[in-house]
Amino acid sequence: MPPKSKKSKSKAKSKSATGSSSGPSEAMIVLETEYTNQSAIALYQQIGFIKDKRLYRYYLNGVDAFRLKLFCKPGPGLHADTAIMGEGGQPPLVQ
């Protein structure tokens, strides 16, 4: 088997670090916030969300929005479908 090139090795590492591969053990949280809401955008980016897309005139008042995404790796025994929602598709209880 031929050795992997440096480019393919670094690509694999970046996918692993950013959670950008599309394996069944990953989940993604997606949200939108007003383009003008800089404090919310800063908070979401501190948590790890990345700006995905600017949505022009997204809200009824004509203000643009940003779509932000957070890639998650569920813990052991969880699937991407149940990482955010609890069993049976219901939100988990917060205690």
pLDDT of residue 73: 76
Mean pLDDT in consecutive groups of 10 residues from the start of the chain, 95 residues: 49 46 70 95 94 95 95 67 54 49
Query: For residue 14, what pLDDT is reported?
Result: 40
Tokens linked to 62: 């004509």
Write the single-letter amino acid at 44.
Answer: Y
Q: Which residues contact 50 (CB under 8 A, 6 or more apart)?
A: 68, 69, 70
